[in-house]
Amino acid sequence: MKIDSEFKQLIPELAVGEYQKLEASLIKEGCRDALVVWNGTLLDGHNRYEICTKHSIPFKTVAIEADGRAAAKEWILRNQLGRRNLTPYMLGVLALKLEESIAARAKAKQQGGQGGVLLKPKSAEANPIETRKEVAKLAGIGKTQIEQIKIIEKEATPEQKADLAKGNKKVNTVYRELRPVKVIEGSKICSVCGINKPLTDYYTLHKSQCKECYSFFRGDKTSTKEEIRALSAHVINGVDTILEDMKNIAPPEEGADKEVYNSIISKLVEIVNKFNIEINEFLYADSILKGQVKPKAILEKTVENLQIIIKKMEE
């Protein structure tokens, strides 16, 4: 039996305990699964072959066809991705070894026609994105994790990689050790609830809505009765905050200015209270409660009205 060192290195090593269990099983029950070979070279079953040779345990082989070494390597990797004892990190590492061949096939699809005529290529970013999707799909993990594993492979210490391989740490944990979240200082007023919040309460600096409001208004799923009630409570909380801010505005000294001030505040309170009533009626309309409309469509006007109120307060 030929052992190819490059092929063997593609296969994750068994932990000591796993190897011992396999050895005990083979000694007791024999080698039930055939070893896979290509052109007389072992592709799958290196541990079983080693143990069977050591203890003179009979084994069978099955031959497969592969169009060259690259195809044989791809077979090994795809076969290993079907193993159940691999951690997400190990699955990602294996899948990333297929990235080059997947990218090559994706690029080949951009070429075609008779005589190898080059078709109109896709955008420069399309190919990497599709490749990343395919790699993630093979590993059974998300695209974000694949990107994290790529960085981990370049930057992590052997100890960190060992912890990931054993399942002692999660991919995201090690990634955060390598790329800690930056502390963002400062604050800004949310365009929806009108509350001045730390920048850490926003997903990205260019977002005008805080995380809480953004999650309510993203409109990526059909409304449910419970969701509408949560939205209503959120809007009402924003209105209550505005009213509280009004109370905290220091009035001017005695005289004509104070009368104007009281008149403006009374009018604003009236507007906000009226809006509060209207938004409740709006949110609890039959068509909304039946889940026929999305939150974003329902509440766009709400955001607009709140912004008008905030502007009036600033004036």
pLDDT for the residue 118: 36
pLDDT for the residue 221: 44
Where along the chain do its domains lie?
Answer: 1-69, 81-181, 187-314
DSSP the chain: -B--HHHHHTSPPPPHHHHHHHHHHHHHH---SPEEEETTEEEE-HHHHHHHHHHT----EEE---SSHHHHHHHHHHHHTT-SS--HHHHHHHHHTTHHHHHHHHHHHTB-SGGGPBPPP--TTHHHHHHHHHHHHHHTS-HHHHHHHHHHHHH--HHHHHHHHHTSS-HHHHHHHHSPPPPPP-EEE-TTT--EEEGGGSSSTT-SS-HHHHHHH---S---HHHHHHHHHHHHHHHHHHHHHHHTSPP--SSHHHHHHHHHHHHHHHHHHHHHHHHHHHHT-HHHHTT-S-HHHHHHHHHHHHHHHHHHHH-
pLDDT block averages, 10 residues each, the chain of length 315: 90 86 94 93 94 95 90 88 81 86 72 42 48 80 86 92 89 88 77 76 72 61 51 62 65 68 71 64 53 53 63 62
Whether this prediction's pTM lies above 0.75 is answered by: no
Assigned fold of 1-69:
3.90.1530
> For residue 140, which phi and psi values (nearest 5 degrees)?
75, 25
pLDDT for the residue 220: 43
pLDDT for the residue 26: 95
pLDDT for the residue 55: 96
